Structure 1
Amino acid sequence: MAKTEPRLQRKLLAWLLGPLLILLLLDAMAAYWSSQRLANLAYDRALHEIAREIVLHVRNEGGRLRLELSETAGSILLTDAQDRLYYRADAGDGTVLGGDTALPLGRRVAPGGEPLFSQETVHGQAVRMIVTRMRVGESPGAPMVQVQVAETLNKRNRLALEMVANVVLPQLLLIVMATALVWFGVSRGLEPLKRLRRAVSNRSHLDLSRIDTHDVPGEVRPLVDEVNDLMARLGKTFDFQNRFVADAAHQLKTPVSGLKAQIELALRENDPERVRHSLAQLYISADRLSRLVRQLLSLARNEPGALETVQLQPLDLNAFALEVSMEWVPSAIKRNIDLGFEGVDEPLMIDADRDRLRELVNNLIDNAIRYSQQGGRVTVRAGHAGDGQCKLAISDDGPSIPVAERARIFERFHRLLGTQEDGSGLGLAIVSEIATLHGARITLEEDVDGVGNTFSVLFQPSAGTPRDNPELTEAL
């Protein structure tokens, strides 16, 4: 069986009306107890008067007591339209003078003492009974008679219920009216939440615009603000995904078309040499396509906002740059490039994600080697900047980038006109995204000798405790 979900309206009504109903129940119980007490006070006087009348019918004949209560007098005295009455009269020595012996013998009351009232059972019926002692006659030495009178509780209960009804019914009516008003008030108070629910449920799944906070209750405003913030973050994520899909589709279309053309050409060739040449071209095209896919994935992975967390840990930039530079020595030798490294004698501690920082350095060195002339020079430098920051600089002997192009060189798919090197225009865009993730700043200037370019990345020094890093002392 499905569990009933909690409803705010139901909870509010329960907390508002529940205490009122409990108070009504307690008040009804108190009113019934008070009504019973008042009804007993009213009818106990009548029982006391009946006891007096019975004593008046007791005769003292030479010290011998005799009850003379005629049938007519008894009928008048003990007949009631709603209840049955019972009586019993006893002499001082315990002799029963008359009445119903089924009445339990009540406690003896001292002469002149207050009458005693109690709840008893007679002939299987609940009764209210009075026990009193009175003198027969007015002389001080007259004998005493104990009289008991019992009466069923019909008119007492009816009077008590009427008094309770007179007290409770107006209160019940008041609570019914309060319930209606509270229900109306709660429904009206929750109307902004219902409108908010309708506004959200009627939205398209593509609509990630902000929810209108007009007329939203203050208690719900923080929740709506958080939802708006979440939708803004989702919008950014979807923008990243859409842009990545568009970029990938645009960039992969040409290489894939080239691969298909090379395959068709190879299928039509019968000369083994020409087939081998086509396969070589296919390998080159596949290698370019593989590099493009890696760069696209790297760009998507490093977009600000596309990641939940970036694990930054203390790292020695000086030793790390030397380690990565050594990995590029074979590529530099293949192109007859003089790859060098200039570092400092002390650790340069920064907070960085090791894998992403490796991508940044690899892309900068790859660009420098790729665009430098045969027999050129590429230098990787690690040191301190003038304002206390840690600096990583890569200089090359490639074509100098015009000042007008420097502002756009870090844009996606932007390539300089006139270059003969293969490339997708993504390497520097990846470098820019990774620098942003590290809170670093990247600049582009001409090389110190006026030939080529120098890319500099400025990092804030590590806020953590410096850790020992392996030092690489081998020079390139």
Structure 2
Amino acid sequence: MTVRLTDFTLRRTLLAWLLGPLVVLLLLDVAVTYSSSVRYSNEAYDRALHEIAREVCLHVRYDGDRPRLEMPPGTERLLMVDQDDRIFYKVVAGDGSLVGGDPSLPAPLKLYDGRPAFYDDMLGKERVRMVAAHMNCDEREKHETVLVQAAETLNKRNRLAGDIRASVFIPQLLLIALAAIVVYYGVARSLHPLQLLKRAVSDRSHLDLSPIPTTGVPGEVRPLVEEVNELMLRLGTTLNFQARFIADAAHQLKTPVAGIKAQIEVALREQNLGEMQRSLAQLYMSADRLSHLVGQLLSLARNEPGAVESLALQRLDLNALALEVTMEWVPEALKRNVDLGFEGDQPIMIKGDPHRLRELINNLVDNAVRYSQDGGHVTVRVGGEAQPQLSISDDGPKIPVEERQRIFERFHRLLGTHTDGSGLGLAIVSEIASLHKAQITLEEDVDGIGNTFTVEFPTPDSPPPG
């Protein structure tokens, strides 16, 4: 028979473990009581059967050494009368010859001198209780012993054994039945809080991720409920991230998409080839900005703390990585007439995700180059052996002190700046820094012009981010 895992329930398991031993105990008790009832019944009637054998022996006489049985018919009828059972007897001489009695009685298998043997045997097709013993029937003279056997049917013995079994079985059966009822309702009562818990969960809306109340929950189940609550909390955080991302993406993509559609309409109506090419050039620039915005939105979603299971941390040289990224921005800096420099001359080892750290440096350099004034300076510095640091200074507009915390919020841009940007670059930087347990600060540049962003990383021997 195939048993499915769904067939196993806590109720069935508890009932099996609690009622199973009771059933086994009942079976053992039945076996022991049955055996005991037969033994007690035999003990009660074996002595009377032995007395019958002794009485038969008293009617044995001897002719010299030859035994003979002298039992008057009246005495035999009186001795053999029993209102419940039939009684048989047999006397056998020492040489095996029959002295008297019923010759159909089977001979005993084994006898011990001086002690009567009681045993069950078959007489024809009927089971009988038998006693056999070697007896000296004449105590005045020492003659050879004779084998005396007496047997009776089992009617009164079976009735007595049945009465014993009934007197024991019925109270025990009632007791075990009562125990089974108590166990069943006890298990049902104990599992009732789980039914309430099930109902509380099944009646919930799929949008309700609030914690499940632990009031009334059994102590053994409470850790499971608490873990489910933790899971729902994490799930709610993830769903909030997704909802916020979708809302942000819809809000940010609406305007550029509408602009692209308008430019396409203008280009479709344009008859002059030169004007059409200018429209297509504007369309290309808009598509490029849209592509940049989509990339930053995806980067922001990928680096949300709730969306990251674990970081692939490895030892890397922050100095080499920052230099490599800075070199990639040189052409863009030259195009914008910005002096892009790098300061760092020795390896600075940290633990981090190289792809995300590259993205962090890219966004910081992009922000510095984008907002620096014409002919300005941008410097990337790496240093700090005890506390690895990455700092980027620019000549852009000073960020007021009250704005320095909000500048890392998504889509937040300073008033009065007309430079193209999505407002996501520094938000991405903040998320990546948080994933690496790094601290990011913003201060006024030391020369009084522009700003300095500093990222302090944990040392490689510090505990990795969880």
Q: TM-score, normalised by structure 2?
A: 0.93
Cα distance 1:452–1:158, how it changes in 2: closer, same or farther (>3 A)? Answer: same
Cα distance 1:188–1:108, how it changes in 2: closer, same or farther (>3 A)? Answer: closer
Give the unaligned 5+ runs of structure 2: none
Which residue in the other structure is 1:416 paired with?
A: 414
In the aligned structure 2, how far is the partner of 1:409 from the partner of 1:84? 114
Which residue in the other structure is 1:122 paired with?
A: 123
Deviation at 1:446, TM superposition (A): 1.6
Deviation at 1:413, TM superposition (A): 0.7
In the aligned structure 2, how far is the partner of 1:92 from the partner of 1:208? 98
Which residue in the other structure is 1:469 paired with?
A: none
Aligned counterparts, 1:30-69, within 5 A: 30-60=32-62, 65-69=67-71
Whether contact under 8 Å (1:445, 1:455) holds in the other structure is: yes
Which residue in the other structure is 2:267 paired with?
A: 266
Three-state SS of the structure 2 residue aligned to 1:244 is helix
Aligned counterparts, 1:204-223, within 5 A: 204-223=205-224
Tell me whether 1:380 sits opposite 2:389 in the alignment.
no
Cα distance 1:110–1:34, how it changes in 2: closer, same or farther (>3 A)? Answer: closer
Three-state SS of the structure 2 residue aligned to 1:397 is coil
Cα distance 1:460–1:55, how it changes in 2: closer, same or farther (>3 A)? Answer: closer
Paired AA for residue 361 in structure 1: I
From 426, 436, 440, the equivalent of 2:424 is: 426
Tell me whether 1:188 sits opposite 2:186 in the alignment.
no
Which residue in the other structure is 1:8 paired with?
A: 10
Cα distance 1:107–1:176, how it changes in 2: closer, same or farther (>3 A)? Answer: closer
Deviation at 1:81, TM superposition (A): 3.6
Which residue in the other structure is 2:107 paired with?
A: 105
- What whole-Å deviation, never above 9, does each CA across 1:385-437 have from its counterpart, x for those lacking one? 8xx31111111111112222222111111111121211111111111111111
Equivalent pairs, count: 461
CA RMSD, 1 decimal: 2.3
In the aligned structure 2, how far is the partner of 1:232 from the partner of 1:291? 33
In the aligned structure 2, how far is the partner of 1:55 from the partner of 1:372? 135
Deviation at 1:320, TM superposition (A): 1.3
Q: TM-score, normalised by structure 1?
A: 0.91
In the aligned structure 2, how far is the partner of 1:365 from the partner of 1:59? 134
In the aligned structure 2, how far is the partner of 1:285 from the partner of 1:2? 64
- What percentage of residue pairs aligned between the two structures are identical? 63
Which residue in the other structure is 2:457 paired with?
A: 459
Cα distance 1:314–1:73, how it changes in 2: closer, same or farther (>3 A)? Answer: same
Deviation at 1:20, TM superposition (A): 2.1
Deviation at 1:268, TM superposition (A): 1.4
Which residue in the other structure is 1:300 paired with?
A: 301
Whether contact under 8 Å (1:259, 1:286) holds in the other structure is: yes
- What whole-Å deviation, never above 9, does each CA across 1:173-193 have from its counterpart, x for those lacking one? 111111111111111111111
Give the unaligned 5+ runs of structure 1: 465-476
In the aligned structure 1, how far is the partner of 2:56 from the partner of 2:244? 110
Three-state SS of the structure 1 residue aligned to 2:132 is strand
Paired AA for residue 207 in structure 1: D
Paired AA for residue 247 in structure 2: A
Deviation at 1:93, TM superposition (A): 4.6
Cα distance 1:313–1:63, how it changes in 2: closer, same or farther (>3 A)? Answer: closer
Which residue in the other structure is 1:398 paired with?
A: 396
Which residue in the other structure is 2:20 paired with?
A: 18
From 74, 85, 90, the equivalent of 1:83 is: 85
Whether contact under 8 Å (1:348, 1:461) holds in the other structure is: no
Whether contact under 8 Å (1:107, 1:131) holds in the other structure is: no
Tell me whether 1:441 sits opposite 2:439 in the alignment.
yes
